[in-house]
Amino acid sequence: MRIAVVGATGLVGQEILRVMEERAIEFSDLFLVASPKSVGQKIKFKGKEYAIKGMQEVCDMGVDIAIFSAGGNTSLEWAPKFAEKGTIVIDNSSAWRMDPTKKLVVPEINGNVLQAEDKIIANPNCSTIQMVMALAPLHAKYKIKRIVVSTYQSVTGTGKDAVQQMMEERQGIANGMKVYPHKIDMNALPHIDSFLDNGYTKEEMKMVNETRKILGDQNIGVTSTTVRIPTIGGHSEAVNVEFYHEFDLKDVRAILEKAEGVVVQDDVKNNVYPMPINSHGRDEVFVGRLRRDESQPKTLNMWIVSDNLRKGAATNAVQIAQYLMEQDLVPVS
C-alpha cells in the first residue's frame, strides 16, 4: 500500500499523520506533499524522516491512496490528475462534496456506498460530520423533519495562522497579521467563510446541503448559523431537531449510547456535559444537554461537541482509507 498525504505540513495534515500512527495504518511507502516552498523539508513519522515532495512527482508515482488536505483549488486541479493515475483520492476540502458524481462519506453512517470505481471521495465539513454522527441514528428511528443549528467553532478550523493570531492578541502582540476581519480573542464572529447572496455564509450552506446528502434525504429542512469563537480543541453545536415521529428521551439516550463513535455526556446535576476542552485530541463525538423543546411537539434540543481536526477532518479521512482497505476496494499497485 503506497499512501500520500497532501498538505502534510498543515494542521490537518499533521493530524492525519498522528491518526495514521495511532491506528497503525499499514503501508509500504509513504509520501508527504506540501507547497513548493516546503519541498525538501523533513518530517519525522514513526521514527523515520520523510522529505517533503512536490505534487507532480508524487502524482506521477501512481500511489494507491492520497489523502488531500490542501484546499479546494488544489483539489480541483490535482485530484483528477491523481485519479487518472489510478490513485484513490480522499479529499478534505469542499471542492467535490456536492458533486453528484462523488460520494460524501462518514464511514459509520454511509461507508457502504463506496465502490471500487470511486476514485475521488469527499470528506464532509467538520461541523457537518459531528452533527450527522449524532443525528443519523435518530433519523433512522424518528425521521427528521427540520434542523436548526448554531455552531461555536474553534479557531483551529481556520488553520495555523488563526491560532497564532488569537495567541498574539491574547499576549498583546500587534504584528499586523489578521486572518479574521476583526479581533478574535474575547470575541465571537458570526462569520465563517464568505457571505453568499442569500445572506448565509458558505459554511452555513455546507451544513445545509451536506447534511441532506449524507442522510440521503433532500426533504429535511436545515437552517444554520455558524460562529467562530476563541477556543482550541473542538467545535460545539446547539442543535434543535424536529422529528416526524414522537420520541421518548430515555429511548433517545439509549440510541445515542449505542451509536458507534458517539459518547453521551448528560448528567447536568453533576455539571457533566460536552466541552471542547475535553474533546481535544479525541475521535468521539460527544452529546449532551438532551431535552425536549417545550415550545413545540416532537422536537429535541441537544449539544454536540467534537475535535474538528480529528473526527471533523483527519480521523474521518483515515477511517475512509481504512474502510477501503478492509473491503478490498483499493487496487494495490
Interatomic CA distance for residues 144 and 114, integer angstroms: 24
> What are the beta bridge partners of residue 147?
222, 241
The backbone region for 234, taken as left when phi is positive above 0, alpha when psi lies in -120 to 50, beta otherwise, is left
Contacts for 296 with CB less than 8 Å, ≥ 6 apart: 242
List 59, 139, 235, 280, catalytic entry? 235
Q: Is 235 a catalytic residue?
A: yes
Question: What is the helix (H) or strand (E) element at residue 61, kind and residue range?
Answer: helix 55-61
Q: Are strands 2-6 and 29-33 parallel, antiparallel or unpaired?
A: parallel
Residues 6+ apart with CB under 8 A from 166: 155, 184, 185, 230, 232
Q: Please state the φ and ψ torsions of residue 104, each to the nearest 5 degrees.
A: -115, 110
Place of cell 465571537: 188
CB atoms within 10 A of CB 73: 10
Mutual orientation of helices 11-22 and 315-326 as an angle, nearest 10°?
A: 40
Strands 88-91 and 120-122: parallel
Q: Which three cell numbers stand for residue 167?
A: 495567541
Whether 126 is a known active-site residue: answer yes
Q: Which amino acid is at 200?
A: Y
C-beta separation of 287 from 262 below 8 A: yes
- Identified catalytic residue from 126, 182, 191, 280: 126
Active site residues: 126, 235
